[in-house]
Amino acid sequence: MNKDFSINKTMEKEDLFSPEVSEKARVLKKYAAGLFLRGIPFAINGYLRLGYYVAWYKLWEYARFLAYSEVKKGMRILDIGGAATLPVFYLSEMGCEVTSVDIDKKLVEYQDRVSRKKKWGLTGSSVDICKNELPEEWGRFDIIISFCVIEHMEKQGQLKALKSMAGALSPGGMMALTFDYGEGAKAVGSLRNLDEVKQLIRTTGLSTEGNSEFIDKKTRFMLGHRKRANYTFGSLFIRK
């Protein structure tokens, strides 16, 4: 990866047109269509849906992760808050060993049923990492992912979760996070300015991969099905 390339930043639609990201976006859209044809719903924003459409801002999160994380078959991956989502299923089917932690027990149970049927190395847990440490017996992970989840945690619980996640990384491992960002973001734990992003990085004790300073591109969107807030997503790639 080009160390000068700006990957720690807020969202722009143009990001999806870069060669490395557009390639992964195509792969994910094809995979979503394949799940649809096989009759396998996946979760979007906490709801199971049988479909093949993936909103552009979700592709921004997922495809950029695949483009910049160097994920490979056989890696141990910890997902926080994304049970039964498209990237969790995709990573499992490509041969990664995935543990997905989500407080939604119904999603975890559904995900585990699919995993058993497909014989994937995907297991779920409903442990609340805002209140509890990750089990030591899980060992360490090569990559930890969390897509627009941490903003739904109260700040104190968010800090505890981030420390626990960082502690679960193997040496040299990467954490890929996205989050609601901006003054218009409504979720309780949203990051609303650059200082809060810097505090998040300090909390983990990890170092940014790529550009060292998070970049706010100043573009805001009306996101989600309710479209009530004028905000954006931020993305961080940080390494142990």
**235 falls within a domain:** yes
d(CA 114, CA 102): 16
**3 falls within a domain:** no
**4 falls within a domain:** no
**134 falls within a domain:** yes
**74 falls within a domain:** yes
Residue range 78-93: average pLDDT?
98
- Helices H / strands E in the chain, number of each: 6, 11
Q: What is the 8-class DSSP label of residue 69?
A: S
Residue 223 — pLDDT band, cuts 50, 70, 90?
Answer: confident
Q: Are 65 and 25 in contact (CB under 8 A)?
A: no
d(CA 102, CA 178): 16
d(CA 228, CA 146): 23
**2 falls within a domain:** no
Q: Is the pLDDT of residue 34 over 50?
A: yes
Query: Tell me, what CATH number does 98's domain have?
Result: 3.40.50.150
Q: Are 233 and 220 in contact (CB under 8 A)?
A: no
Distance of CA 114 to the CA centre of its chain: 20
For residue 177, the enclosing domain spans 9-239
Q: Is the pLDDT of residue 4 over 60?
A: no
Distance of CA 238 to the CA centre of its chain: 13
Q: What is the b/e burial string over 41-69, where b = at least 16 CB atoms within 10 angstroms of the residue's CB?
A: ebbbeeeeeeeeebeebbbbbbbbbbbbb
Which residues does 206 contact at the CB level (< 8 Å), separation at least 6? Answer: 166, 169, 175, 238, 239, 240
pLDDT tens column, 133-171? 999 999 999 999 999 999 999 999 999 999 999 999 999
Predicted TM-score (pTM) of the model is 0.94
**95 falls within a domain:** yes
Question: Which residue, chain included where needed, has tokens 């800090």?
Answer: 159
Total domains in the chain come to 1
Residue range 21-48: average pLDDT?
97
**171 falls within a domain:** yes
d(CA 122, CA 78): 10
